[in-house]
């Protein structure tokens, strides 16, 4: 088997999960979905991270009880393992598409105004494929290298916008209906759960279940907190009515800062730095999907699957960019109900299937 | 008449020039001429020498083509006036005086009465030969190799053994100052082409019993001497055995140097960055050996290869540790900034100027436009042209003797630049950026890394021309990922940053120098620091 998982440490895996959690949390495919319930996106982000962590802990516990290093070990026990794997693969594919879709939209609307989505996407596709094909070890090590730079850029972006923040803009918050908040957080699992799901898929590379658990906890908590902080800053910068129709709120925040301080002309550099993080996140999810597919369907090399998945993700993004009524409807349903792709298979994965009695055992 | 007419209307027969065609020796080449190289079967001289001296003499003469190869000296003599013997050496490689004083003179005066013919080599070695390093051998291979190396083989009639005496006395360059790794502080000695001298230079620094210098022969007919220098008990045994395995796999007839050995034993052929540090400073090689790494010396090469390495090794200078902590930290920070600047500045400028002009302030834009008013080349072409010209000037300066090389640098830098600006071929802004880039490039201490950075820079410029910052992001991310996936003999290239290891001192920020024992964690040595 040449799945290119490799071996890596806790810090690298935590860095990868952190980056993935931040970019998945902040750069949803559809701003309307993210901000349709007022400026409560940061609260939803916190709660959905907690929910995802609970799911992760339950899975690690199941791994400890049933013995196994990664998610495919648990899926392998099930009688419908292929169906479960396909469900989770689709979830990871959708999660991979979200940040890319958001950044492509930002680029074509603000940076390369005269360019088409296809052109921009064609630049990203080889990079996405290379990263996915190089495997988990490379991905997590690249994440560890990029993490300090990304953290500095995020911190600089958030701090430089302090002058724009106004607390009154965070209203309305639907805190009066806790059930609704929890439901919204549950439906946001397509953004909160994939970092941990992907880590579970490549768990073999972390070398130890406890190391995986620790990396997942640290990465998800730090990434979720950072994403919540960024969303909170965004909520204080714009009202939710503004945010709903904004294709790239974070970039707009940077542009606002630049308008106030003309000497700070780093908004494009920061945007493209974040694009690097988004591509890395997408490659991480796609690679996790590759591993899941290869292990379930016994494919011996991850690279052909990586090529296929990168191509499918890019093609789907391009198809969804054509703004017709049908695609808009599909898009809305896709991301609104995508939580089911994670929510439905996990109970089946966590439940231990009852073993059939073999003929031999019955005769005895 | 008939022939004259025929010659008038007929093309002349071509002149029969000698051509060595592939078909003559190896048959018809395949359509794409990419047939697998058939390894030439090296005719190994197997077996042992014979008792008969004349037969041995004939064999040696044939083996070294003595009829045309006049370097081979076959000196017959009578040991003690009775036993026939033959001293064989290579002219120029062996010291004549040593042979005359310590082999021939004792041989003439020796008394071999009562000694049987078969015991002559042992007897001569023990009772007459006044040489320090001698060896008895009956292997034809060993004898041939010894003669080729400059030793003298003494063969006896009736004995099936020969004595190999160390009479090597060829001329070699004395130890001098390093030419490419100059430092202000620290030692001023550099390796030479003589492998023995190089080992001595290392031994003078590492005076400890566990320092091992393992001599090995390379594969192929040339049998170049290689030395693996390491600390026994500190170096990782798995690394050592892997390096030995890869060295044993070398089977080539080309002349070996450290750079060639590196390419023959490395993992990532297409990675532009080197996977072995090539240093001409014994102190640097010794420091690496103390860290649990391996230094590789190659006969005839005035450099040592150090393995494994990381990106930090390529960005470190030999005197970093000699500086005081605050100064060292600042110097390292400047070097890092220089390296980053030299790599990304031209591409970043191109991206901003061509695709994102809004990111440049009005004053800068005005300056750029004013300086480019009369320049006829497009900006991207101007930048890439200047970068390549810079590399040309640099290469030209390297390949010519010292003082002329400096002159070429000055001419290239000042006159050519000034003339190019006056002729409106390039603009001043781009010239300044390329000059800054060049200075930053020289801040990278390792030559191979400088070259890799220079060409990566051109690649980034092309990407920036096509897609601006998007191109830089995509190329940069791919390059980072490829470097993250690379390993130098099992050690990840970005260690100790990614993967993180315990001891990351002296790489980004210099820490205070403390008393420490053992090797840093990142080299996976056997004896590591706590």
Q: Which domains does chain A have, with CATH numbers?
A: 10-363 (1.20.1740.10)
Average pLDDT over residues A195-206: 92
pLDDT at A191 over 90: no
Query: What pLDDT was estimated at residue B514?
Result: 77
Q: How confident is the model at residue A60 (pLDDT cuts 50, 70, 90)?
A: very high
* Chain A residue nearest residue B495, CA to CA: A141
* Bridging pattern class, strands B277-279 and B83-90: unpaired
A24-33, B91-100, B353-362: least confident range: A24-33
> Between chains, do A130 and B478 touch, taking CB under 8 Å as contact?
yes
pLDDT at B20 over 50: no
Average per-residue pLDDT for chain B: 84
Share of chain B above pLDDT 90, in %: 25
> Between chains, do A142 and B477 touch, taking CB under 8 Å as contact?
yes
pLDDT tens profile A248-279: 888 888 887 777 666 667 788 899 999 999 99
Distance CA B259, CA B511 (A): 33
- Is A57 at the interface with chain B, CB within 8 A? no
Distance CA B152, CA B137 (A): 12
Task: Give the 3-state DSSP-derived string for B278-329, with helices as H, strands as E and coil as C.
Answer: EECCHHHHHHHHHCCCEEEEECCCCCEEEECCCHHHHCCCCCHHHCCHHHHH
* Chain A residue nearest residue B364, CA to CA: A263
pLDDT tens profile A76-104: 878 888 898 999 999 999 999 988 988 88
**Please, are residues B289 and B295 in contact by the beta-carbon 8 Å criterion?**
yes
Residues 132-151 in A contacting B (C-alpha not used; CB under 8 Å): 134-135, 137-139, 141-142, 144-146
pLDDT at B374 over 60: yes
Name the DSSP class of A167.
Answer: G
**How many angstroms separate the CA of residue A277 from the nearest CA in chain B?**
9
> Between chains, do A123 and B471 touch, taking CB under 8 Å as contact?
yes
Closest CA to B392 of B343, B338, B350, B434: B434
Distance CA B352, CA B468 (A): 7
**Please, are residues A87 and A341 in contact by the beta-carbon 8 Å criterion?**
yes
**Which chain B residues touch A123 with a CB distance below 8 Å?**
467, 470-471, 474
Residue B443 backbone phi and psi in degrees, to 5: -70, -20
Query: What pLDDT was estimated at residue B43?
Result: 45
pLDDT at B323 over 90: no
Average pLDDT over residues B242-269: 89
Most confident of A25-29, A64-68, B35-39, B306-310: B306-310
Cα distances from A1 to residues A255, A295, B284, B519, in angstroms, run: 48, 9, 41, 35
Average pLDDT over residues A133-154: 93
Cα distances from B397 to residues B339, B391, B426, B441, in angstroms, run: 21, 10, 22, 15
**Which chain A residues touch B355 with a CB distance below 8 Å?**
112
Identify the bridge partners of residue B74 per DSSP, sorted by sequence position.
Answer: B88
pLDDT at B460 over 50: yes
Gyration radius from chain A CA atoms: 20
Most confident of A42-56, A231-245, A312-326: A42-56
Q: How confident is the model at residue A1 (pLDDT cuts 50, 70, 90)?
A: low
**Please, are residues B228 and B240 in contact by the beta-carbon 8 Å criterion?**
yes
**Which chain A residues touch B474 with a CB distance below 8 Å?**
123-124, 126-127, 279
Share of chain B above pLDDT 70, in %: 89
Query: What pLDDT was estimated at residue A29?
Result: 66
Query: What pLDDT was estimated at residue B296?
Result: 94
- Is A264 at the interface with chain B, CB within 8 A? no
Which ipTM was obtained for this model? 0.91
Q: How confident is the model at residue B22 (pLDDT cuts 50, 70, 90)?
A: very low
pLDDT tens profile A214-229: 999 999 999 999 999 9
A333-342, B168-177, B460-469: least confident range: A333-342
pLDDT at A57 over 60: yes
Query: What pLDDT was estimated at residue B506?
Result: 57
Query: What pLDDT was estimated at residue B41?
Result: 43
A34-38, B34-38, B316-320, B508-512: least confident range: B34-38
* Chain A residue nearest residue B477, CA to CA: A276
Edge-first strand listing for the sheet containing B162-165: B72-79, B83-90, B152-156, B162-165, B134-137
**Please, are residues B147 and B63 in contact by the beta-carbon 8 Å criterion?**
no
> Between chains, do A12 and B500 touch, taking CB under 8 Å as contact?
yes
**Which chain B residues touch A120 with a CB distance below 8 Å?**
470
**Which chain B residues touch A215 with a CB distance below 8 Å?**
none
Distance CA B85, CA B94 (A): 18
For testing the chain B interface, which of A269, A278, A302 should be mutated: the one with the most B CBs within 10 Å? A269
Distance CA B233, CA B214 (A): 14
**Which chain B residues touch A135 with a CB distance below 8 Å?**
485
Alpha helices in B128-236 (DSSP H): 140-149, 195-205
> Between chains, do B359 and A123 touch, taking CB under 8 Å as contact?
no
Distance CA A272, CA A254 (A): 12
Edge-first strand listing for the sheet containing B294-298: B211-217, B225-231, B294-298, B304-307, B277-279
**Which chain A residues touch B481 with a CB distance below 8 Å?**
130-131, 134, 138-139, 142
Q: Largest Cα–Cα distance in chain B? A: 104
**How many angstroms separate the CA of residue A100 from the nearest CA in chain B?**
13
Q: How many helices (H) and strands (E) does chain B have?
A: 19, 12
- Is B421 at the interface with chain A, CB within 8 A? no
User: What is the 3-state composition of chain B as percent helix, strand, coil, each rounded to the nearest 5?
Assistant: 45, 10, 40
Distance CA A103, CA B332 (A): 36
pLDDT at B147 over 80: yes
Query: What pLDDT was estimated at residue B40?
Result: 41
pLDDT tens profile B51-68: 899 999 999 999 888 888
pLDDT at A132 over 80: yes
For testing the chain A interface, which of B268, B485, B493 should be mutated: the one with the most A CBs within 10 Å? B485
Distance CA B105, CA B117 (A): 20
Query: What pLDDT was estimated at residue A272?
Result: 92
**Which chain A residues touch B467 with a CB distance below 8 Å?**
123
> Between chains, do B470 and A275 touch, taking CB under 8 Å as contact?
yes
Query: What pLDDT was estimated at residue A32?
Result: 73
A76-90, A317-331, B378-392: least confident range: A317-331
For testing the chain A interface, which of B340, B462, B481 should be mutated: the one with the most A CBs within 10 Å? B481
**Who contacts A3 (Cβ-Cβ below 8 Å, separation ≥6)?**
A135, A290, A291, A294, A295, A301, A302
**Who contacts B51 (Cβ-Cβ below 8 Å, separation ≥6)?**
B117, B157, B158, B159, B160
B36-40, B70-74, B413-417, B488-492: least confident range: B36-40
pLDDT at B8 over 60: no
DSSP-based three-state secondary structure for A97: helix
> Between chains, do B500 and A11 touch, taking CB under 8 Å as contact?
yes
Query: What pLDDT was estimated at residue A323?
Result: 67
Query: What pLDDT was estimated at residue A167?
Result: 87
Q: How confident is the model at residue B17 (pLDDT cuts 50, 70, 90)?
A: very low
Query: What pLDDT was estimated at residue B32?
Result: 52
For testing the chain B interface, which of A143, A268, A302 should be mutated: the one with the most B CBs within 10 Å? A268
Of B355, B360, B474, the CB nearest to A127: B474
Q: What's the pTM?
A: 0.84
**Who contacts B349 (Cβ-Cβ below 8 Å, separation ≥6)?**
B383, B430, B433
**Which chain B residues touch A257 with a CB distance below 8 Å?**
none
Average pLDDT over residues B349-358: 90
Most confident of A71-80, A312-321, B294-303: B294-303
Greater model confidence, A2 or B103: B103
Average pLDDT over residues A63-78: 86
Identify the bridge partners of residue B73 per DSSP, sorted by sequence position.
Answer: B89
Residues 97-126 in A contacting B (C-alpha not used; CB under 8 Å): 107, 111-112, 120, 123-124, 126
Distance CA A313, CA A52 (A): 24
Distance CA B171, CA B193 (A): 10
Q: How confident is the model at residue B115 (pLDDT cuts 50, 70, 90)?
A: confident
> Between chains, do A12 and B359 touch, taking CB under 8 Å as contact?
no
**Which chain B residues touch A280 with a CB distance below 8 Å?**
477
**How many angstroms separate the CA of residue A50 from the nearest CA in chain B?**
28
Q: Largest Cα–Cα distance in chain A? A: 84
Average pLDDT over residues A64-70: 86
- Is A313 at the interface with chain B, CB within 8 A? no
**Please, are residues A225 and A26 in contact by the beta-carbon 8 Å criterion?**
no
* Chain B residue nearest residue A5, CA to CA: B485
> Between chains, do A111 and B356 touch, taking CB under 8 Å as contact?
yes
Name the DSSP class of A229.
Answer: H
Distance CA B508, CA B497 (A): 10
Query: What pLDDT was estimated at residue B31?
Result: 52
């Amino acid at each position: 088997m040449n799945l290119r998982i490799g071996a890596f440490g806790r810090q690298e895996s935590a860095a990868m999960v952190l980056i993935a959690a931040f970019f998945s949390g902040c750069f949803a495919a559809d701003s309307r979905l993210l901000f349709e319930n007022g400026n409560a996106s940061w609260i939803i982000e916190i709660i959905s991270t907690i929910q995802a962590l609970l799911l992760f802990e339950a899975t690690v516990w199941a791994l400890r009880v049933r013995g196994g290093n990664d998610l495919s070990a648990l899926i392998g026990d099930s009688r419908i393992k292929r169906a479960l794997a396909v469900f989770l693969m689709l979830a990871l594919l959708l999660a991979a598409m979200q940040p890319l879709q958001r950044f492509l939209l930002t680029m074509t609307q603000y940076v390369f105004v005269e360019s088409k989505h296809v052109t921009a996407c064609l630049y990203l596709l080889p990079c996405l494929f290379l990263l996915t094909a190089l495997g988990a070890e490379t991905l997590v090590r690249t994440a560890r290298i990029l993490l300090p730079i990304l953290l500095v850029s995020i911190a600089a972006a958030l701090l430089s916008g302090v002058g724009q923040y106004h607390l009154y803009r965070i209203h309305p918050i639907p805190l009066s209906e806790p059930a609704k908040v929890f439901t919204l957080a549950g439906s946001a699992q397509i953004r909160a759960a994939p970092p941990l799901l992907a880590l579970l898929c490549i768990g073999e590379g972390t070398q130890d279940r406890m190391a995986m658990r620790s990396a997942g906890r640290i990465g998800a908590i730090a990434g979720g907190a950072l994403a919540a902080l960024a969303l909170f800053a965004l909520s204080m910068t714009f009202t939710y009515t503004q945010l709903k129709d904004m294709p790239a709120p974070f970039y707009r925040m940077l542009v606002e800062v630049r308008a106030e301080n003309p000497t700070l002309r780093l908004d494009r550099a920061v945007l493209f730095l974040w694009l690097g993080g988004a591509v890395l996140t997408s490659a991480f999810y796609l690679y996790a999907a590759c591993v899941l597919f290869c292990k379930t369907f016994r494919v011996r090399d991850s690279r052909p699957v990586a090529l296929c998945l990168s191509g499918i993700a890019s093609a789907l993004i391009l198809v969804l960019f054509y703004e017709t009524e049908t695609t808009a409807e599909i898009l809305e349903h896709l991301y609104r109900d995508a939580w089911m792709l994670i929510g439905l298979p996990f109970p089946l994965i966590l439940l231990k299937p009852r073993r059939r009695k073999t003929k031999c055992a019955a005769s005895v | 008449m008939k022939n004259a007419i025929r010659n008038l209307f007929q093309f002349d027969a071509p002149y029969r020039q000698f051509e060595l065609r592939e078909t003559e020796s190896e048959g018809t080449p395949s359509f794409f001429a990419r047939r697998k190289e058939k390894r030439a079967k090296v005719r190994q001289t197997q077996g042992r020498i014979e008792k008969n001296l004349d037969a041995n003499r004939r064999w040696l003469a044939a083996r070294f083509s003595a009829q045309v190869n006049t370097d081979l000296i076959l000196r017959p003599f009578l040991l003690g006036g009775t036993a026939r013997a033959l001293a064989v050496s290579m002219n120029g490689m062996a010291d004549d005086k040593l042979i005359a004083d310590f082999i021939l003179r004792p041989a003439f005066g020796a008394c071999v009465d009562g000694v049987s013919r078969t015991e002559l080599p042992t007897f001569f070695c023990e009772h007459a030969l006044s040489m320090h390093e001698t060896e008895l051998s009956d292997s034809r291979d060993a004898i041939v190799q010894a003669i080729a190396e400059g030793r003298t083989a003494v063969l006896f009639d009736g004995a099936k053994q020969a004595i190999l005496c160390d009479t090597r006395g060829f001329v070699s360059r004395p130890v001098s100052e390093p030419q490419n790794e100059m430092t202000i502080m620290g030692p001023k000695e550099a390796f030479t082409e003589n492998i023995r001298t190089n080992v001595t230079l290392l031994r003078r620094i590492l005076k400890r019993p566990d320092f091992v210098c393992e001599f090995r022969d390379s594969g192929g007919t040339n049998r170049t001497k290689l030395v693996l220098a390491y600390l026994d008990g500190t170096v990782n045994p798995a690394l050592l055995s892997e390096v030995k395995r890869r060295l044993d796999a070398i089977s080539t007839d080309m002349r070996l140097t450290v750079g060639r050995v590196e390419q023959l034993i490395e993992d990532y052929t297409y990675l532009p960055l080197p996977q072995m540090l090539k240093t001409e400073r014994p102190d640097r090689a010794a420091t690496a050996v103390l860290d649990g790494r391996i230094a590789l010396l190659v006969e005839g090469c005035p450099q040592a290869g150090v393995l494994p390495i990381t990106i930090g090794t390529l960005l470190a200078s030999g005197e970093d540790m000699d500086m005081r902590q605050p100064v060292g930290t600042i110097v390292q920070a400047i070097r890092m900034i220089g390296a980053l600047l030299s790599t990304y500045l031209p591409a970043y400028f191109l991206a901003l100027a061509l695709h994102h002009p809004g990111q440049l302030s009005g004053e800068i834009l005005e300056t750029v436009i004013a300086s480019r008013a009369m320049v006829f080349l497009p900006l991207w072409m101007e930048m890439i042209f200047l970068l390549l010209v810079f590399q040309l000037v640099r290469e030209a300066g390297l390949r010519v003797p010292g003082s002329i090389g400096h002159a070429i640098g000055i001419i290239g830098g000042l006159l050519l630049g000034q003339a190019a600006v006056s002729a409106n071929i390039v603009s001043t802004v781009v010239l300044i950026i390329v000059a800054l880039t060049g200075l930053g490039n020289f801040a990278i201490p390792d030559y191979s890394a400088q070259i890799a950075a220079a060409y990566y820079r051109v690649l980034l410029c092309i990407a920036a021309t096509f897609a601006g910052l998007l191109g830089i992001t995509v190329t940069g991310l791919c390059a980072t990922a490829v470097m993250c996936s690379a390993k130098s003999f099992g050690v990840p290239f970005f260690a100790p940053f990614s993967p993180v290891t315990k001891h990351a001192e002296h790489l980004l920020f210099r820490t205070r120098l403390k008393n420490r024992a053992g090797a840093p964690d990142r080299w996976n040595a056997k004896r590591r620091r706590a």
